[in-house]
A and B are shown apart, each in its own frame.
Chain A
Amino acid sequence: MKAGTERKIKFIFTNYQLYLLLFPTIVFFVVFRYIPMYGVQIAFRDYMVTKGFLGSEWVGLKHFERFFQTPDFWMLIQNTLGISLYNLMAGFPLPIIVALLLHQLNHKGYKRFIQTTLYAPHFISIVVLVGIILVFLSPRHGLINHLIRLLGGETVFFMGKPEYFKSIYVLSGVWQSTGWGTVIYLAALSNISPELYESSIVDGANKWQRMLHIDLPGILPTAIILLILNSGYMLSVGFEKIYLMQNSLNRTTSEVISTYVYKTGLINAQYSYSSAIGLFDAVINLFILIIVNRLARKFSETSLW
């Protein structure tokens, strides 16, 4: 034990240069990731700029209680969870299906062409994506409404109708990220041993059967890991896209926790109150992640830890 410690200390001294390479990164994580975690205590205080993190008065759970009692609370939870679940149900299986299909495509050149096209939207910025959505859905001269009128329908004011918001958000996300989502599954598929295919062909299995009985089980562990990782972000629907898609007409379905935190915190400067909401959000997320990971460990062989 003592000899082990001594050896370690000796290692650290003789290899100080290795730690030197690591040092700036550790400083970064401490300053920009751990200090804000320490600073989150303002959620339990009435933060005053002049008094600082520690000097501000301790008020316990006051801000949390206020949040739970605000009339917007249930709307926020409902919108955030609703969008998350919708997104998961539409966005999670599709890359798996597309990857399975792509994997069975024999023509290499055509496969590559399709992949190149499907990946492209991933590299479009969120601002541009939302810009595209707005141009296409514009009520008077957007392409979609031109088509609707051409088919004899009535003009639809998509961005002004709260009932369309979730679908627009989720489906545009599917358009943007399905292709890129297949990459990780294709990587897993390429690791499946060719012997499995050979013996299944000898046994008379057709492509459909091979896909179902070899490919699908082959990517299941990857799918489970991704599902667990996704579950850890259940209550944190990305701020960036929602914020750009929001307007006063669709707010009843588009306001989510992250946009609410931004507005109360940075626009209205209620630092403590919105920190409390952010903390509530982060804790619930961590909690869901732990539960899902435990379930995954129980019902399958795969888990994060």
Chain B
Amino acid sequence: MNNKLKRGRGDLVFDIINYTLLTLGMLMVLYPLYFIVIGSVSDPNAVYEGRVYLLPRGVTLDGYRRIFKEESIWTGYGNTFLYTFSGTALNVVLTISAAFTLSRKSLPGRNFFMFMIIFTMFFNGGLIPSYLLVQRLGLIDKIWALIFPVAVGPWNLIIARTFFQTSIPDELCEAAYIDGSSHIHMFIRVVLPLSRALIAIMVLFYAIAHWNSYFSALIYLRSESKYPLQLILRNILIENDVSSSMVYDAYSVGEKQKLADLIKFGVIIVSSIPVLILYPFVQKYFVQGVMIGAIKG
């Protein structure tokens, strides 16, 4: 009895400390995100002078109005959609079909192929040889340069293979073969319908990676009309290169900088909207994906 009481008190102290720590941590993560939201709708003067901390001041949608009129952002948006969509389609088709084959335990050569794939996670030729290859293939300044060199991610392949190994037993396939189905027929008719969760995970993993990437575009693309959103964002956010058409009416350098900051906050939000919309699904499936990956396959 005494023991239990002591434990009860110890647990209470533990809980109080635990809730406090986690709540503090949560606020530290949340506040910068929240600040961007209120910064994007506040009067730029108030942000500039440090009068915005908890609530927006002098609410204005001016920043968003300027962003919506800026063409380069929408071209970037369109390009990114195109790259994300086509890149992800190729990623998912290749990853899932290869993972299915590699999940069959009786397959001769399975270990060899797996080793060949996993080895690339720990050793690679490096930036320059890869760049020279893309150049040789004539892909510079082509959309394919953003798609082919990242066509299959080894980590995603492992996740998909583990999924098939644990959820599509060999016996199920064998039963289908006895009925006279071919492998491809059976893959499309039996395996894929059973793998909706996996497909969702793969689509989200790859799509977010494409949406957020800027490096391939930086080294392989030349013409600005093909730039994805992240490169446009880089100009605005990092190079502080807010095009003059967005701040044409600013009458001084200081005024221009205030507007530029307002635009930066807004651009961060606008560029993250698709991810924000997907976030509830993303969270659910991403966590599932990591869980599958955690079962060491």
Minimal beta-carbon separation of B200 from chain A (angstroms): 16
B14 contacts A20, C-beta separation under 8 Å:
no
B170-207 interface (Cβ within 8 A of A): 182-184, 187
A28 contacts B261, C-beta separation under 8 Å:
no
B116 contacts A29, C-beta separation under 8 Å:
yes
Contact with A along B270-294 (1 / 0, CB 8 A): 0110010001001100110011011
Known: A127-B214, A266-B219. A207 touches B133 (CB 8 A): no
Residue of A nearest to B235 (CB): A127
B29 contacts A117, C-beta separation under 8 Å:
yes
Residues in B with CB closer than 8 Å to A138 are 261
B128 contacts A207, C-beta separation under 8 Å:
no
Q: Is the CB of B101 closer than 8 A to any CB of chain A?
A: yes
Q: Is the CB of B68 closer than 8 A to any CB of chain A?
A: no
| Interchain residue pairs with CB less than 8 A apart (30) | A11-B108, A21-B100, A24-B98, A25-B94, A32-B148, A40-B129, A98-B22, A101-B21, A117-B30, A125-B271, A128-B271, A132-B36, A132-B268, A134-B237, A143-B35, A146-B50, A178-B25, A183-B286, A187-B290, A187-B291, A188-B294, A206-B11, A207-B10, A207-B14, A222-B294, A240-B214, A278-B127, A278-B128, A281-B126, A285-B122
Report the Cα distance A26→B15, complex, angstroms. 52
Q: Is the CB of A256 closer than 8 A to any CB of chain B?
A: no
Report the Cα distance A113→B29, complex, angstroms. 12
A24 contacts B126, C-beta separation under 8 Å:
no
Contact with A along B131-142 (1 / 0, CB 8 A): 111000000000
Q: Number of residues in B with C-beta < 8 Å to the partner?
A: 94
B94 contacts A18, C-beta separation under 8 Å:
no
Q: Is the CB of A261 closer than 8 A to any CB of chain B?
A: yes
Contact with A along B94-120 (1 / 0, CB 8 A): 110110111010111000010011001
Report the Cα distance A81→B216, complex, angstroms. 25
Q: Is the CB of A170 closer than 8 A to any CB of chain B?
A: no
Known: A29-B117, A130-B237. A266 touches B22 (CB 8 A): no
Residues in A with CB closer than 8 Å to B10 are 206-208
Minimal beta-carbon separation of B19 from chain A (angstroms): 7
Residues in B with CB closer than 8 Å to A223 are none
Q: Is the CB of A71 closer than 8 A to any CB of chain B?
A: no
B14 contacts A104, C-beta separation under 8 Å:
yes
A184 contacts B294, C-beta separation under 8 Å:
yes
